Amino acid sequence: MHLPVSAHPAHDLQNPGAAPLKGRTYDGVVDAVSPGGVPMEAMSDVRCEDGMAGIFPCHKVDLASFTPLTDMESTFVNDLWGWEDDETGLQLAIVGTFEGTAFIDVTDGSNPVYLGTLESQVPGDTGNIWGDVRVYEDTAYIGSEAIDLDTYVPATGELDGFGIQVVDLTQFRGATAPIDVELTHHIDDVTNSHNISLNEDSGRMYVVGSVYDVEQCGTPNPDFPVLNGNGGAIVYDVATDPNDPQFLGCLTEDGYSHDIQCVDYAGPDADYTGREICIGSNEDTVTIYDATDPADPVVLDRFHYLDESLEVGDIYTHQGWLSADHSYFFLGDELDELSGVASERTTYIWDLRDLDDARVIGTHTDGNTSIDHNMFVDDFLLYQANYTSGLWIYDTWKQEQGRVTMRGFFDVFPADDRTEFFGSWGTYPYFGDGKVVVTSSDEGVFVLQSRAKSSDNSDKPGGKGRGKGGGSAR
């Protein structure tokens, strides 16, 4: 199925360097107290009691530590992922920053150790506030929207950008202080990207929102190469040689994909058992692909969840995550609250038990005015980063009824719950010991310890990582 869809990337491609809606508040200055009311001072071991952990509103989530921007040589943080070393037990938070990518040892959550920053591939900024990272085995893959305007040639559209940085994480074994982080490999056939997704079971990496200089993925524009590609996922094999990913194909049939999760499907729809199924958050629809053959992917269908007359700008199908059993999908729209389409923070709950007939069976709201951002499922718990209201943890045990129940939260932006792009960007809940790492853009990195439990999973504080699958978020 080939569907004519236009791309709406995070940046204005006709005017590289134009300021987009999100990120317009970045000024490169770190204040003594953040916009969220958080002082730029390290904190540790603050238990959540009577609804507060020091200055932070909370419920069943304790503050293990806070690393401020100033302690990680940064002025802004965005997304993150994590790595646990099977050999040493090292737990590493890998954090996108304006300056590059920071690496923090969070093995002892109360005593994090900053281990250094890999500098951005592109100096200065156009796009450095957007970054994403994923991990396969002992290797990290880092992408960014950053482009190098000094190389831009208006007459031809030629432009250099961030590409994909490949980093061997074993270099951090034994490190107890900042090291000179070494770049292992660099993929330069992608000029820049918005998000990275990775299916750890199949060893495939999906680079999405890449709209520059991607000749292999169709829609070439020889007269203006800056517009090559349409932002659909670019697929790489990382299993054969993690340090040297190889191009496999593209998922361009539905145009620009803001985010995507791909899994070896093990859900109830027997027609697709064992196939590589991807759920794309594609700006105005949820789009389901069969990507088993990445050289010849198939769009199974595209699904609207709000009035089809609404356009990108009123809504933005941002990111979501499958339940551990691949039966349901939890989706966040990044603009519905800001535009007034939704009056409060809203999570859309999809029934995907029949992949050819997906449908929304419920929406969750809890009266909060913040914007929902990135979310991930670990066993029965859904961990959601909500800009100005921080981390919220939901129990999905009644997902078949289109319901989730709040089990815990920690507000990393205590000043207010304004409907704006401040506060928590990403969350990583997969260390398996109740530890949850959260980034907050103008504050820094929070290591939290969750005591939240699911009614269907009450013996485990944070689960054992089921549902990690693949994916990205930004």
Candidates 2.130.10.10, 3.90.700.10, 3.40.50.720, 3.40.50.1580; correct CATH number of 258-474?
2.130.10.10
The residue that leads in pLDDT, 63 or 308, is 63
- Residue 211: pLDDT band by 50, 70, 90 thresholds? low
pLDDT of 177 higher than 90? yes
What confidence tens digit (pLDDT) does each residue in 251-273 have?
999 989 999 999 999 999 999 99
pLDDT of 232 higher than 70? yes
Cβ pair 210, 191 in contact under 8 A: yes
What confidence tens digit (pLDDT) does each residue in 329-362 have?
999 999 999 999 999 999 999 999 999 999 999 9
Give the pLDDT score at 394.
98
Nearest Cα to Cα of residue 10 among 304, 388, 312: 312
Q: What six digits make up the tokens of 99?
A: 């300056």
Provide mean pLDDT across the span 25-36: 92
Q: What six digits make up the tokens of 214?
A: 């991607």
Q: What six digits make up the tokens of 14?
A: 């006709």
Sign for the pseudo-dihedral over CA of 211, 131, 206, 239:
positive
Longest dimension (CA), the chain: 63
pLDDT of 27 higher than 90? no
- Residue 216: pLDDT band by 50, 70, 90 thresholds? confident
Spatial CB neighbours of 433, under 8 Å, sequence gap ≥ 6: 461, 462
Cα separations (Å) of 185 from 164, 167, 211, 243, 314? 9, 7, 21, 6, 39
Read off the amino acid at residue 331: L
Give the pLDDT score at 300.
97
- Name the one residue in this structure whose structure tokens are 């569907």: 3
Q: What's the CA gap between 182 and 193, in Å, rounded?
A: 21
Q: What six digits make up the tokens of 298?
A: 């198939």
Mean pLDDT of the chain: 90
Give the length of the chain: 474
Give the pLDDT score at 125.
74
Domain residue ranges in the chain: 70-218, 258-474
Q: What six digits make up the tokens of 405?
A: 């129940």
Spatial CB neighbours of 254, under 8 Å, sequence gap ≥ 6: 3, 5, 232, 280, 282, 285, 287, 289, 299, 302
Among 9-18, 174-183, 333-342, the range scoring the smallest mean pLDDT is 9-18
Read off the amino acid at residue 24: R
Give the pLDDT score at 23.
74
- Residue 82: pLDDT band by 50, 70, 90 thresholds? very high
Give the pLDDT score at 123.
81
Provide mean pLDDT across the span 320-329: 97
pLDDT of 209 higher than 80? yes
Q: What's the CA gap between 63 and 55, in Å, rounded?
A: 11
Q: What's the CA gap between 45 and 37, in Å, rounded?
A: 19
The DSSP secondary structure of 301-350, one letter per residue, reads: EEE--S-TT--BTTB-EEEEEE-TTSSEEEEEESSHHHHTSSSS-EEEEE
